[in-house]
Structure 1
Amino acid sequence: MSDPIDFYFDFASPYGYFASLRIDALAAAHGRSVTWRPILLGAIFKVTGMKPNLEQPLRGEYLTHDVGRIARLTGAPFIFPDSAPVNGVAASRAFYWLTDAHPEQAKLLARALYHAHFGEGRNIGPADVVAEIAEQTLGSLGYDRSAVLAALGDQTVKDRLRGETEQAVARGVFGSPFVLVDEEPFWGWDRLDMLDRWLSSGGW
């Protein structure tokens, strides 16, 4: 069986959001699974010297236009959040707290958080908002707000997110979404069609 595809993303990234809506189905069409890996672009920007897109002249204005256009093209629910770019630390920690024991539920939570942020325009930065969404999404597993809030402050969970981000840098990841297929890198939502063709052909 082929190795899983690694899907790196930041919860602050609208392009990561759009990719999250498609990546698993795309991979499954080629008999591949996907390992979701949230990261913190803020830490990566310290390495690359970049600033968030929204803080860059001209590029920020283009982004706000472009993501609305993508939403209309794909039919994805989308409201540009007033809180953008959101701090994705709590959301990312919640994912890594859950993913080893319940990887599919962790993906479900990530989708719910992404939808709340970009589909409904909610600010998912605060820990209590993340805990609320997690409780709504994972209540059937017995997780409540207090358990989620405790997990967000757990040093092991904090270290996991830091380690995943550092590993991403070591693998050449510098943006969101960033997909690695057998170490072949693809950066950006607009590379998913190329990724699809790469998987179909075995590369070129």
Structure 2
Amino acid sequence: MSGKIICYLDCVSPYSYFALLYLEKQRAALWSHKVEIDVVPVFLGGINVGSGNKPPWTLPAKAKYSTYDSARAKRYFGAPDIKTPDFFPILSLLPQRALVFIKAQHSQLFIQTFLDIFVDMWQNGLDVSKPELLGQVLKRRFSDSQIQDILRQANSPEYKQTLNDNTKEALDRGAFGCPWYWVTNTKGEEEPFFGSDRFHYMFEYLGLPWTDFELPPAKL
């Protein structure tokens, strides 16, 4: 590989959803340039505590602004149907631990399952922190016996620790929110990036031939 993007995401973050949608749309193009994508589940609550950050809805000015920003992001990333569920925010430990296990044991279904969780939480209003509702989401990809195994393993010491380790790794790399990225370029240099609107900076850092948007002049 000529470069690598490690992307730290949590299903509780709608901007993580936007980031994953965008990265998946660009995956084939990135692969053609020999850039690898590695999506890593983390616990955003732990990142907030570890970094001293506060969720935007807890600060009145940020909460007010996010109404406008999220509407713009939904349109741009092609997810206009998402809405904040009435049970938000959730404690995302269970779905994130389940995703850690799925990545380890069912890697071919990992990305699609992450997207399923985003869709069912943010578009269909399912509280995926509840085992029975997370199980409903998993039925799209897994058998009943596999779902039982996923939910059991999500509560095992091994996968609890793996999620903790992932979260600590993100914190050690400077994370204060999600989506957080750790990017390695062709020179072996590494830098962090944050948010769902910094991909042009990321592509420039990777030395990719990206195209900026262009504002044409008005026709006279």
Report the TM-score when normalising by structure 1. 0.88
How far 1:112 sits from its partner (Å)? 0.5
Q: Secondary structure of the residue that 1:33 maps to in structure 2?
A: strand
Given the alignment of the two structures, is residue 184 of structure 1 paired with residue 188 of structure 2, yes or no?
no
How far 1:191 sits from its partner (Å)? 0.7
CA distance in 1, matches of 2:168, 2:151: 24
How far 1:89 sits from its partner (Å)? 0.8
Given the alignment of the two structures, is residue 199 of structure 1 paired with residue 206 of structure 2, yes or no?
yes
CA distance in 1, matches of 2:108, 2:181: 19
Residue from 49, 53, 59 that aligns with 1:50: 53
| Identical residues among aligned pairs (%) | 28
CA distance in 1, matches of 2:3, 2:201: 19
How is 1:79-158 mapped onto 2 (pairs within 5 angstroms)? Answer: 79-139=83-143, 143-158=145-160
Q: Which consecutive unaligned segments of at least 5 residues does structure 1 have?
A: none
Given the alignment of the two structures, is residue 78 of structure 1 paired with residue 82 of structure 2, yes or no?
yes
Q: Secondary structure of the residue that 1:160 maps to in structure 2?
A: helix
Residue from 167, 173, 180 that aligns with 2:169: 167
Q: Secondary structure of the residue that 2:2 maps to in structure 1?
A: coil
Instruction: Answer 1 or 2: which has greater helix percent.
Output: 1
How many residues align? The count is: 201
How far 1:69 sits from its partner (Å)? 2.1
Given the alignment of the two structures, is residue 64 of structure 1 paired with residue 71 of structure 2, yes or no?
no
Q: Secondary structure of the residue that 1:28 maps to in structure 2?
A: helix
How far 1:97 sits from its partner (Å)? 0.8
State the AA in 2 paired with 1:127: P
Report the TM-score when normalising by structure 2. 0.82
Deviation >4 Å, runs of 4+: none
How far 1:3 sits from its partner (Å)? 4.8
| CA contact 1:4–1:34 (8 Å) conserved in 2 | yes
CA distance in 1, matches of 2:27, 2:200: 11
Q: Secondary structure of the residue that 1:21 maps to in structure 2?
A: helix
Distance 1:199 1:28, change over 3 A: farther
CA distance in 2, matches of 1:145, 1:26: 30
C-alpha root-mean-square deviation of aligned residues, in Å? 2.1
How far 1:143 sits from its partner (Å)? 4.5
Distance 1:80 1:3, change over 3 A: same
State the AA in 1 paired with 2:116: A
**Structure number, greater radius of gyration:** 2
